[in-house]
């Protein structure tokens, strides 16, 4: 029990160290807090700090994450597994339970999103955003047809990838739970996405503006539409500002927001049980998204400071947790290489198709880059690309598209995933 308590404390406190590293040193900030969480989690999983039990225990699992407590004690009583195996099973049970943190994060992320305000600006990049959604759906579906025989449960992976290409890691976390994606597959899909994404974002902020402006029509400023460009930049940059969360006027309200998130989680689970007589993860995720959007429309909820940052803190806990559960021996298998090809196809296929459609519909270069950034990399990356474009006026468009991505990602991911399953 002591080991379990120490592990839980570690999961909840080490993300604070990661946040400090990103705030203190630019190098870690450029890597990104989520990348660091995955990195440290993988180190934990490979060093043997968390034991994996005896051979007999692993055989008894039969592919499951942990054994039910009654079954584990029965095996221990009969001498088939050891006392150390019981500890390992308690750790695995705790890890599985803590994954609910990923679901709890999403309401907090949505509470702070002023959807009514940002929808007023949606028309600035609406065409590019719509083309991006079409591209994502077409490419992921064709990728599923190509890789469904070589990537285990490709329909789950495809549904999850919809989330990462519309709202980034937060949506991917939610859809991992909704699709019941196996931890190793989730880790590697997100790792591959990060590796490919790192190369892409470097291109976007270096040669990207020159390349796309050479082949697409130039951005046309609309007088009077972006008078608050500097304020928009500061607002976008604040997504990763964790300072002041423990202030007297902030922390109690954050606890209220956390309580509301728990209520929404409970209502969503209850609704699933009421309608379907059991807990269905897709129903729970969709309900959480819907209830959270409704809650964000109330001013007293929307005005609670730092709810987005608290949600991202929970995402970091989830990322560290899931990475620490990864099994590198299966990660390096042939199936994971095929997963890399699937991610590669979805990533660059959607970007390329989006570019072709944008050329056809005469979307300008700046709006193409900023909407692509908002969808694929999420709103915190919008100001980075806006600076590279030397165009702060597109920031509000980027934020708007990113917010819409957060909102539609779960609905679209679940819908496309189950459509592919039945295809």
The residue ranges of every structural domain in the chain are 2-98, 103-310+325-422
Q: How many residues does the chain have?
A: 423
Burial (Cβ within 10 Å: 0-12, 13-18, ≥19) of residue 340: middle
- 211-250 burial, b for 16+ CB within 10 Å, e for fewer? ebbeebeebeeeeeebeeeeebbebbbebbebeebeeeee
The pLDDT value recorded for residue 122 is: 58
The DSSP output letter for 305 is T
The pLDDT value recorded for residue 65 is: 76
- Is the full-model pTM beyond 0.75? yes
Torsion from C-alpha of 78, 84, 86, 87, nearest 10 degrees: 170
Helix (H) or strand (E) holding 285: helix 281-296
The pLDDT value recorded for residue 38 is: 82
Cα–Cα distances in Å, from 331 out to 45, 71, 188? 12, 28, 7
Q: What are phi and psi of 112, to 5 degrees?
A: -85, -5
Phi-psi region of 326 (alpha: psi -120 to 50; beta: other; left: phi over 0): beta
The pLDDT value recorded for residue 413 is: 92
Regions in the chain scoring below 70 on pLDDT: 63, 115-124, 221-239, 327-335, 380
The pLDDT value recorded for residue 144 is: 96
- Whether residue 220 contacts residue 391, with contact meaning beta carbons closer than 8 Å, is answered with no
Cα–Cα distances in Å, from 93 out to 8, 31, 89, 98, 269? 12, 31, 6, 9, 20
Q: What are phi and psi of 279, to 5 degrees?
A: -85, 115
d(C-alpha 339, C-alpha 346), whole Å: 11
The pLDDT value recorded for residue 300 is: 92
The pLDDT value recorded for residue 264 is: 95
345 contact partners, CB below 8 Å, separation of at least 6: 139, 142, 143, 146, 147
The pLDDT value recorded for residue 238 is: 65
Spell out the alpha helix ranges (H) of 148-182.
Answer: 154-164, 169-179
Q: What angle do CA 392, 393, 397 make, to 5 degrees?
A: 110
Cα–Cα distances in Å, from 405 out to 13, 22, 194, 380, 391? 30, 25, 18, 13, 22
């Amino acid at each position: 029990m002591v080991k379990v308590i120490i592990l839980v404390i570690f999961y909840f406190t080490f993300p604070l160290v990661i946040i400090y590293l990103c705030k203190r040193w630019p190098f870690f900030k450029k890597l990104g807090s989520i990348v660091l969480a995955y990195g440290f989690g993988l180190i934990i999983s490979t060093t043997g700090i968390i034991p994996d039990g005896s051979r007999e225990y692993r055989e008894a699992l039969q592919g499951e994450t942990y054994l039910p407590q009654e079954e584990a004690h029965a095996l221990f009583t009969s001498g088939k597994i050891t006392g150390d195996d019981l500890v390992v099973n308690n750790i695995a049970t705790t890890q599985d339970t803590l994954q609910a943190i990923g679901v709890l994060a999403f309401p907090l992320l949505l509470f702070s999103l002023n959807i009514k305000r940002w929808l007023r600006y949606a028309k600035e990049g609406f065409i590019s955003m719509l083309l991006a959604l079409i591209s994502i759906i077409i490419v992921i579906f064709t990728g599923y047809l190509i890789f469904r025989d070589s990537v285990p449960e490709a329909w789950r992976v495809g549904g999850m990838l919809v989330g990462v290409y519309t709202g980034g890691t937060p949506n991917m976390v939610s859809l991992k739970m909704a699709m019941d994606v196996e931890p190793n597959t989730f880790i590697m899909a997100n790792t591959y996405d990060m590796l490919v994404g790192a190369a892409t974002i470097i291109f976007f902020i270096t040669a990207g503006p020159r390349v796309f402006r050479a082949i697409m029509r130039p951005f046309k400023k609309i007088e009077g539409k972006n008078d608050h460009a500097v304020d928009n930049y500061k607002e976008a940059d604040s997504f990763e500002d964790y300072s002041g969360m423990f202030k007297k006027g902030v922390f109690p309200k954050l606890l209220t927001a956390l309580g509301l998130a728990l209520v929404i989680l409970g209502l969503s689970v209850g609704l699933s049980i009421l309608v379907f007589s059991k807990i269905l993860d897709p129903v729970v995720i969709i309900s959480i998204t819907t209830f959270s959007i409704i809650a964000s429309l109330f001013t007293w909820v929307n005005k609670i400071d730092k709810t987005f940052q608290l949600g991202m803190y929970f995402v970091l806990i989830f990322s560290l947790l899931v990475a620490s559960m990864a099994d590198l021996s299966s990660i390096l298998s042939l199936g994971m290489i095929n997963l890399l090809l699937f991610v590669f196809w979805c990533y660059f296929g959607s970007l390329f198709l989006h570019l072709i459609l944008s050329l056809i519909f005469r979307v300008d270069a700046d709006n193409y880059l900023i909407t692509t950034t908002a969808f694929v990399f999420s709103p915190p990356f919008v100001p980075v690309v806006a600076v590279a474009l030397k165009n702060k006026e597109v920031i509000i468009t980027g934020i708007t598209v990113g917010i819409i991505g957060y909102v539609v990602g779960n609905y679209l991911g679940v819908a496309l995933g189950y459509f592919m399953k039945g295809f």
